[in-house]
Amino acid sequence: MTTPHAVLPPFVANPTLTVRWAASKEDILMAQKLRAIAFGFCPPETPSPDIVPERDLFDTHARHLIVIDRSTGQCVGTYRLLDYRGAQKTGGFYTQTEFDLQPLSSFLEDTLEVGRSCVHPDYRNGGAITLLWSALARIIQTEPVRFLMGCASVDLTDPSMDPDRIWSYLKRTGWDQSVENVVPHRPYPCLDRPMGQKDVPVLPPLLKGYLRLGARCIGNPSHDPAFRTADFPIWLPVGSMKDRYARHFFRSLLNEGRDS
């Protein structure tokens, strides 16, 4: 595995931002404070000393990618990665707090969990999230990872998001039939909303990105009341990604204007 102190040069040239591993407690604290802002737990203009960090027990044994504004030293993007070895130290993956992962038990030793992806509201022009995904692309290419796993959240407070239509769309076009479905601990009930074959609901950018890369949903959503989200379990066999399409995908993120 890559050492936490390694530098990850960005795949996309960016004169103002750089991406690297969090290499100290101070780095992780910056990421946790950014999460508090990005997830709506405090206003973006809150002075840094007054921000209550968004943290949990998985942070200690995970690796954290951080995007830094070179001019200010501010952390403006982050992504948390937890492998099987780290999960063993915390009693399991974060995803296991929302779903029963027994159907995936034979795959988990080769799985990398990705989560807590966020970008500061002032930097949601595509550059920061591109750097995070470029770093993730390098990790996939250089580490013995066979599967990516995570929770793709649908914001229940966003009127543009319809969990029923998203669930119906995923059942029709984005469901993985090759593995047994995982079961949510706190099911979020969804109704089937019939749609035309070409109809696509508004999707959270992160979920849309995972689907473009070839990820599939492997179960019904779980309700996360703390974050006010419906979380869909996402599964991606790394070997199923086509190199040409993956390169196109990472480049296309330059045009994404939001994160999740």
Read off the pLDDT of residues 135-144 as tens digits, 9 standing for 90 and up. Answer: 888 888 788 9
Tell me which residue of 245, 242, 187, 249 sits closest to 219, measured CA to CA: 187
Tell me which residue of 251, 252, 219 sits closest to 235, measured CA to CA: 219
What percent of the residues of the chain are helix, what percent strand, and what percent coil, each to the nearest 5? 35, 25, 40
210 contacts 253 by C-beta, under 8 angstroms = no
- Predicted confidence at residue 205, as pLDDT, reads 86
Q: For each of the chain's 260 residues, which pLDDT tens digit applies?
A: 344 445 555 444 578 899 999 999 999 999 999 999 999 999 999 999 999 999 999 999 999 999 999 999 999 999 999 999 999 999 999 999 999 999 999 999 999 999 999 999 999 887 888 888 888 888 887 889 999 999 999 999 999 999 999 999 999 989 988 888 999 999 999 998 888 777 899 999 889 888 888 899 999 999 999 999 999 999 999 887 756 556 655 554 444 433 33
Ordered by start, the domain boundaries in the chain are: 17-254
- Predicted confidence at residue 7, as pLDDT, reads 55
Tell me the whole-structure pTM to 2 decimals. Answer: 0.88
CA Rg value for the chain: 17
Would you call 70 helix, strand, or coil by DSSP? coil
Residue 221 half-sphere exposure toward CB, CA atoms < 13 A: 27
Beta pairing class for 111-119 and 147-155? parallel
- Predicted confidence at residue 178, as pLDDT, reads 81
Q: How far does Cα 179 stand from its chain's mean position? A: 21
One CATH from 3.90.180.10, 3.40.630.30, 3.40.50.2300, 3.40.640.10 for 17-254: 3.40.630.30
- Predicted confidence at residue 209, as pLDDT, reads 84
Read off the pLDDT of residues 15-68 as tens digits, 9 standing for 90 and up. Answer: 889 999 999 999 999 999 999 999 999 999 999 999 999 999 999 999 999 999
- Predicted confidence at residue 142, as pLDDT, reads 84
